[in-house]
Amino acid sequence: MRNLRNIRYEPWSPPAQFQERPVTSATWDLANDSVLCTFGPTESNALIELVRVKNTTKTEECTLVTSWDAPCPNPELDCDRILSLHYFGDSLTACLVLAGGDIVVVREEPLPGEDRIEIVGSVDAGITAAKWSPDEELLAITTKADTVVFMSRSFEGITDVTMTAEDLKASNHVSVGWGKKETQFQGRGAKALKDPTMPEKIDEGVLSPNDDSSTTISWRGDGAYLAISTIEGAARRLIRVYSREGVLDSMSEPVDGLEGALSWRPAGNLIAGIQHRDDRVDVVFFERNGLQHGEFSLRMTPEQRKLQGQHIRLSWNHDSTCLAVIMANSIQLWTIGNYHWYLKQEISIKRAALLPNFSLVWHPERPLQILTIAPECITVFEYVFGTARDTTPPPQDDGVVAVIDGQTINVTPLRTANVPPPMALHAFEVRSNAIDIAFNAGASSFAVLHQEGISIFEWEKHYASSPPPALTARVTFENTGSSDAFPQQITFDNRDELLVLLSVNGSSVIKRYGFNDDTGRMEEVPSQAHSNSVVRNLSSICQDGVSHAFVQGKSGDLHKLSFGGHDLSHCNFPTYLPWVEVLPYGDTYIAFGMSTNGHLYANSRSLVKNCTSFLVTNVHLIFTTTTHLIKFVHITDVNDLEVPPDDPEIDERCRSIERGARLVTAMPSSLNLVLQMPRGNLETIFPRAMVLAGIRALIDERNYRKAFTHCRTQRVDMNLLYDHAPEQFLANVPLFLDQVKKITYIDLFLSSIRDEDVTESMYKETRKPSGLTNGTSVINSTNGVTPPEPSFTKTSKVNKICDAFLEVLKTRTATNLQNIITANVCKSPPALEDGLLVVAQLMKDNEEMADKAVEHICFLADINKLYDNALGLYDLDLALLVAQQSQKDPREYLPFMQNLQSMTELRRRFGIDDYLGRNDKALTHLHSLDAFSELQTYTQKHALYQFALSLYRYNPARHAILTELYAKYLQSKSQYKEAALAFESLNDYMAATSCYVSSGPAQWREALFCALSQTPPLAPQALTDLATTLAEAVTDARDHRAAASIHLDYLDSTEDACRSFCKGYFFSDAFHLVALKHQPELLESVIDPGLADALASSTELLAECKAQLLAQVPRIRELRAKALADPLAFYEGERGGDGELPDDVSVAASSRLSTNRSLFTRYTGRGSQGQSIGTAGTGVSRATSKNRRREERKRARGKKGSVYEEEYLIASVGRLIDRVQSVRGEVGRLVEGLVRRGMWERARAVESAMAEVVGMCKACIPEVFAIEEPSKVLDEEGVEVYRPVGGDAVLAESLADAKKKKEPPVIDAFDRLTLLGS
């Protein structure tokens, strides 16, 4: 679908000093970006002049490199002739091979001991052809002695091969007739006995009468083989294929009329030649084995075939995309697509004929740049592949594409008729071979620029059945014979004017053509649209249905040709870009352009550097990349354009495509675009980015029918219809119903809704919010609908939509009954009862509709749940109707329903609710029936005590009975405290006492109260036993104050009370009790021993804390020093401390995987080539739950020498500090008690020990716990890597916890008594 468009035409004529000498050869000089050419030798002058021609910004510089006399050593030649001119850019050396036999080297910068001009070799017999290999390492030469000489870059002979008739034995060809008529099916019995491998006519290799007896050499693109075309025995032309080492590989099969033209496609699959037949001239192709493989005919008139000196030559460009056919008066450029050969351009030769050997040279690096050489002129042509398509914005975007094939123009509107090439919807011809095609703003007309003029066609309707385009106007160029005007490009301007870019004597001229109302013809319009500088591109902008022409200069500057309007200077590119599209954006323009090396620009900003094709719609910049992805960039301000990452699985703006695919056109109205594959076939895709953008736009336009259709056909979640603009949707539910109409479609939408905002998940908006979207102000998602006030209660999205539909559908019951039921069933949870109520109402009004409704609701919901809900409505007729739709056996439900039918109303409802398990409702019916005994039994059976109590809250007698039942139930479930409260509320103090005692020591007061409140009173001994039991219980619970109260109040034991106070370090309370009870003897018998026991316990605890701190803090310090000094040895070494092998759970790479990774790799999990070395990349399965559990046990133990030791020690120190903080008050009370009893030394000792331990704790906190959070190790893309699993995950979590900043434990200062001194 691509055409060739000329972007450069630069003829160069020799200056006056060379006017009388012809150009004899030319080649590209890549080192200086110039052309090297030679003048001479001629018959009258043997001088050869080597000249460099360089095109500068303003003029062309001509520099003489050197010159020398080259008399012909071969007497058979009138003068010597240059057969090969090659320039080595790396050594600045030119090599010339002359027909007389000399091989001359010209060194521009000779080294010491080297000559500037040197004849490095000579062939006495003379040379017929010479060609350097593509890698510039081998020179192949054919001589008049029928030999092939291979020479190295240093001109040393490698091998000589003689071409003889014996070479014909090298290939024994067997043709199986692929593609021939003889192998096609011709019906039963047709030529059944004929061998299909034997054609009717066998070519004998008869020479063409037009053969010029030349020898041609052509190398394959990789330089491994070369082909040589020669005449064998003056009777047959042969193509020999030699390997790089000079070994004959194959010979061509005999082909009648084969001529000397030869060109091996650089891709290596075809060797092109010319076959002259009686009625036509074909380009034939051979495989490397010499067998013919296809052909196509050149479109030549009989006059052209008989033209004087018509010796056709062939030349492939360097990327194998274009084949040049060089004729006597023209050059044709052919391309192939879908196995069809297209004539894309024809260059007419108006001056002298081209040189026979140096007629055309392709540029080695720019695939479509050509150098043509004539004796009087050298011309540079450059082309680019481009698609002639209309750029009409939606909704008139029909995707019209025009393809040039010589004089034939193929036009197809891909939106309405997706015809694969080489076919087309319409094909028509123009007078001569076409050059360029342009569409107007609405694609209602297009113009074809051809060699003789312009043809304008009208095509209003682009339907598949519409009539073909009609020729409406024609412009014929003046042909003076000496005109140097070269038409290049054409475009529309305004509504019906045409602009044509021509190159006249190297300068660009733009001619304007318009329709003359007086004459009724297209005529040239005088204008000022001439440019003194060189114009490379002529195109137009489509805006408001009108075309506005613009041009691009050779430095990338853009200029608008229309008068008025905005300037395009802000859109200038940093360099010339062959492919340009300008898009109106708001009040300005954005220019997008792509260079030949794949750099994509937006104005002067570089977007990507691997682009292969691009196009622009009103909302997207779409381009393909060398990584076989197609990407979408939302149109916004140039500086805000965001190129999506290469992530087609996640980002909707990126999608994988076939290798080598190119963009043809995009049709946003149809949500699709067309790609052309490398072979030439078309593929239409619906990219998710275009689909979603189109659906969002349709929603904003409130075109719900079309948006729904796209969601359905493109499998887009229906939730997008609501989530994109929720308030707008709710306000336009009637419009949605009117547009969608079809009941099944409405049901499909309702059944697809779920409580998920798809605009925040699968269809998250990738466009950044902006004030403009290509000229249109952006409104919020509600599209002008005022959002409701925020509510504190969140309503289900599904229920909100269903309620909105039900509100509208309640007036459309006759037409949308099915939708009403669907809306009820689709609620969350399903409102089955509401749906069944609709059916129940229909049973009264219209039984036929009721049958359809119940059938539909049974289809949507579980039939068993519907049956239960129908019963729950206490409507037996409805339940029976639903049951009949199910697979239930009538013997199961009919007796049950008959039984229900025989009951009273309340008893029936009780039976239904009991059957459905609605026990609360069933209990309510029993309450209404006043069946209290049955209610008690039912309450006990289903544990409905709380609900039963609520029913009888105003009936004290029955409430008390139910409370007693509930208390016994709680007691059976070991809920003693609540059972005791229930018993106590019923004045059952005996049972309450038992439950309080069973509930635990915390309720000792309640237990003693109930024991003392019993009637008759509790026996003294029993009360004493109860108090003793409670005292022991609270003592075991370390509630020593409570134990002392019980001993003092209920057991009358001051001694035991004092002892309990001492156990709890409440020495002041003990002193007070001794004084109160006037029992001073207890000071020595109880309090002093209590002080001694407390002193011993505290001293032992403080000594242990001190020893632990002295051991663990230095160990933590030591472990951290080891980790800093050698992290690899610390984390990867033996962790068991007892000679065990490592467990391979480090964040570092396991020793089983590799031993040569860097330390950085071990921490990041990235390999040297960027690949992950995590679990998924190693193939070593360590992600097992067994490993994790084992590692967690190791972490919990914190064994010495393991990697978990530091974490364990830090946690241990933290627990120790918390313990010291908790006993600080007890030690303080102990010190005071010792002082009050005069035990000064003991008080000083324990106080000093406590102060020392507190000081050590305060000192170690900054060191142990104050760890700064280190910076995270990131990979090259700035994302964290290596997520370990299994046993590795345990260690990773441990290290992560160790690196986190910890909250240090708090310990208060210990206030020492001043009485004890320092």
Q: What is the pLDDT of residues 1050-1073, one digit of tens each?
A: 888 888 989 888 988 888 988 898
Give Cα separations from 253 to 208, 225, 227, 238, 250 (angstroms): 16, 18, 14, 8, 9
- Environment class of 1157 (CB within 10 Å of its CB; exposed 0-12, middle 13-18, buried 19+): middle
**Is the per-residue pLDDT at 341 higher than 90?**
yes
What distance lies between CA 836 and its chain's CA centroid?
Answer: 48
The single-letter code of the amino acid at 326 is: I
Q: What tokens appear for 223 in the block?
A: 């330089």
How far apart CA 892 and CA 777 sit, in angstroms, is: 67
Q: What tokens appear for 1048 in the block?
A: 């003092």
Write down the pLDDT at residue 776.
46
Tell me the pLDDT tens digit for each residue of 408-455. Answer: 999 999 998 889 899 999 999 999 999 999 999 888 899 999 999 999
Instruction: Look at 170-179, 327-336, 795-804 and tell me which has the smallest mean pLDDT.
Output: 170-179
**Is the per-residue pLDDT at 1033 higher than 80?**
yes
Write down the pLDDT at residue 881.
85
For residue 1108, give the nearest of 1217, 1251, 1261, 1263 by alpha carbon: 1217
Write down the pLDDT at residue 1160.
37
Contacts of 17 (CB under 8 A, 6+ apart): none
Confidence of residue 780 (pLDDT cuts 50, 70, 90): very low
Which is more confidently placed, 935 or 1154? 935
Write down the pLDDT at residue 199.
57
* Residue 403 three-state SS: strand
Write down the pLDDT at residue 774.
59
Contact 561, 499 (CB under 8 A): yes
Which value, in Å, is the radius of gyration of the alpha carbons in the chain?
A: 50
Write down the pLDDT at residue 1141.
37
- Environment class of 1138 (CB within 10 Å of its CB; exposed 0-12, middle 13-18, buried 19+): exposed
For residue 859, give the nearest of 825, 895, 894, 905 by alpha carbon: 825
Write down the pLDDT at residue 121.
92
How far apart CA 704 and CA 701 sit, in angstroms, is: 8
Contacts of 132 (CB under 8 A, 6+ apart): 84, 86, 95, 138, 139, 140, 219
Question: Mean pLDDT across the stretch 828-837?
Answer: 87
| Length of the chain as a residue count | 1318
Contacts of 1290 (CB under 8 A, 6+ apart): 1145, 1188, 1191, 1192, 1194, 1195
Q: What tokens appear for 771 in the block?
A: 């004030």
Instruction: Find the helix packing angle between 905-916 and 919-929, rounded to 10°.
Output: 160
Q: How many C-beta atoms surround the C-beta of residue 651 within 10 A?
A: 17
Instruction: Look at 129-133, 334-338, 646-650, 1132-1136 and tell me which has the smallest mean pLDDT.
Output: 1132-1136
How far apart CA 643 and CA 768 sit, in angstroms, is: 12
Write down the pLDDT at residue 784.
47
* Residue 504 three-state SS: strand
* Beta-bridge partners for 51: 37, 64
Question: Mean pLDDT across the stretch 241-245?
Answer: 95
Helices and strands counted in the chain (H then E):
35, 56
Question: Mean pLDDT across the stretch 184-193?
Answer: 56
Q: What tokens appear for 132 in the block?
A: 């350097």
Instruction: Look at 853-862, 1098-1107, 1131-1140 and tell me which has the smallest mean pLDDT.
Output: 1131-1140
Contact 160, 147 (CB under 8 A): yes
How far apart CA 970 and CA 686 sit, in angstroms, is: 67
Read off the pTM.
0.75
Q: What is the mean pLDDT of the chain?
A: 85
C-alpha atoms less than 13 angstroms from C-alpha of 1236 in its C-beta half-sphere: 17
How far apart CA 268 and CA 220 sit, in angstroms, is: 6
Confidence of residue 1270 (pLDDT cuts 50, 70, 90): very low
Write down the pLDDT at residue 850.
85
Q: Could you say which DSSP state residue 824 is in? A: H
How far apart CA 968 and CA 978 sit, in angstroms, is: 10
Instruction: Look at 98-112, 156-170, 328-342 and tell me which has the smallest mean pLDDT.
Output: 156-170
Range picked from 294-308, 313-327, 1224-1238 for highest mean pLDDT: 313-327
Q: What tokens appear for 790 in the block?
A: 């925020």
Write down the pLDDT at residue 73.
87
Tell me the pLDDT tens digit for each residue of 376-400. Answer: 899 999 999 999 999 888 888 889 9
How far apart CA 752 and CA 145 sit, in angstroms, is: 84
Give Cα separations from 304 to 70, 276, 328, 405, 432 (angstroms): 37, 13, 9, 19, 14
Parallel/antiparallel/unpaired status of strands 485-493 and 470-476 = unpaired
Question: Mean pLDDT across the stretch 339-360?
Answer: 88
Confidence of residue 860 (pLDDT cuts 50, 70, 90): confident
**Is the per-residue pLDDT at 1142 higher than 70?**
no
Write down the pLDDT at residue 183.
59
DSSP 847-867: HHHHHHHHHHHHHHS-HHHHH
Tell me the pLDDT tens digit for each residue of 1208-1267. Answer: 888 888 889 999 988 888 888 888 888 888 888 888 888 899 999 999 998 888 888 865
Q: What tokens appear for 354 in the block?
A: 């081209």
How far apart CA 104 and CA 73 sit, in angstroms, is: 13
Instruction: Look at 481-490, 855-864, 1213-1222 and tell me which has the smallest mean pLDDT.
Output: 481-490
CB burial string 31-56: b at 16+ within 10 A, e below: eeebbbbbbbbbeeeeebbbbbbebe
Tell me the pLDDT tens digit for each residue of 707-738. Answer: 999 999 999 999 999 999 999 999 999 999 99
What distance lies between CA 932 and its chain's CA centroid?
Answer: 71
Contacts of 1236 (CB under 8 A, 6+ apart): 1067, 1071
| Residue for token pair 């209610």 | 935
Instruction: Look at 314-328, 556-570, 1190-1204 and tell me which has the smallest mean pLDDT.
Output: 1190-1204
Confidence of residue 804 (pLDDT cuts 50, 70, 90): very high
How far apart CA 698 and CA 729 sit, in angstroms, is: 12
Write down the pLDDT at residue 1179.
39
Q: Could you say which DSSP state residue 327 is in? A: -
- Environment class of 519 (CB within 10 Å of its CB; exposed 0-12, middle 13-18, buried 19+): exposed
**Is the per-residue pLDDT at 1154 higher than 50?**
no
Give Cα separations from 66 to 33, 106, 299, 731 (angstroms): 19, 8, 43, 86
Q: Per residue, what are the HEC states of 1087-1104? A: HHHHHHHHHHHHHHHHHH
Instruction: Look at 1-10, 592-601, 736-745, 863-872 and tell me which has the smallest mean pLDDT.
Output: 863-872
The shares of helix, strand and coil residues in the chain, as percent rounded to the nearest 5, are 35, 25, 40
**Is the per-residue pLDDT at 781 higher than 60?**
no
Confidence of residue 901 (pLDDT cuts 50, 70, 90): confident
Q: Could you say which DSSP state residue 654 is in? A: E
Contacts of 731 (CB under 8 A, 6+ apart): 785
CB burial string 314-323: b at 16+ within 10 A, e below: bbbbbebbbb
Parallel/antiparallel/unpaired status of strands 93-98 and 377-386 = unpaired
**Is the per-residue pLDDT at 489 higher than 60?**
yes
How far apart CA 562 and CA 672 sit, in angstroms, is: 33
Instruction: Look at 35-49, 246-260, 495-509, 1127-1141 and tell me which has the smallest mean pLDDT.
Output: 1127-1141
Which is more confidently placed, 888 or 438? 438
Tell me the pLDDT tens digit for each residue of 814-832. Answer: 888 899 999 999 998 888 8
Write down the pLDDT at residue 382.
94
Contact 585, 596 (CB under 8 A): no
Q: What tokens appear for 1211 in the block?
A: 């946690």
How far apart CA 1134 and CA 803 sit, in angstroms, is: 67
For residue 313, give the nearest of 301, 298, 302 by alpha carbon: 298
Question: Mean pLDDT across the stretch 608-636?
Answer: 94
Q: How many C-beta atoms surround the C-beta of residue 398 within 10 A?
A: 24
Write down the pLDDT at residue 777.
45
Q: What tokens appear for 33 in the block?
A: 């970006």
Confidence of residue 1173 (pLDDT cuts 50, 70, 90): very low
Q: What tokens appear for 259 in the block?
A: 């001529």
**Is the per-residue pLDDT at 1316 higher than 80?**
no
Write down the pLDDT at residue 1174.
41
* Residue 630 three-state SS: strand
How far apart CA 281 and CA 589 sit, in angstroms, is: 50
Which is more confidently placed, 59 or 1123? 1123
Contact 536, 578 (CB under 8 A): yes
Percentage of residues of the chain with pLDDT beyond 90:
47
Instruction: Look at 140-154, 330-344, 1247-1261 and tell me which has the smallest mean pLDDT.
Output: 1247-1261
Contact 232, 281 (CB under 8 A): no
For residue 331, give the nearest of 13, 27, 55, 6 by alpha carbon: 6
Work out the end-to-end distance of the chain between its first and last CA atoms, rounded to an integer number of angstroms: 100
Confidence of residue 1172 (pLDDT cuts 50, 70, 90): very low
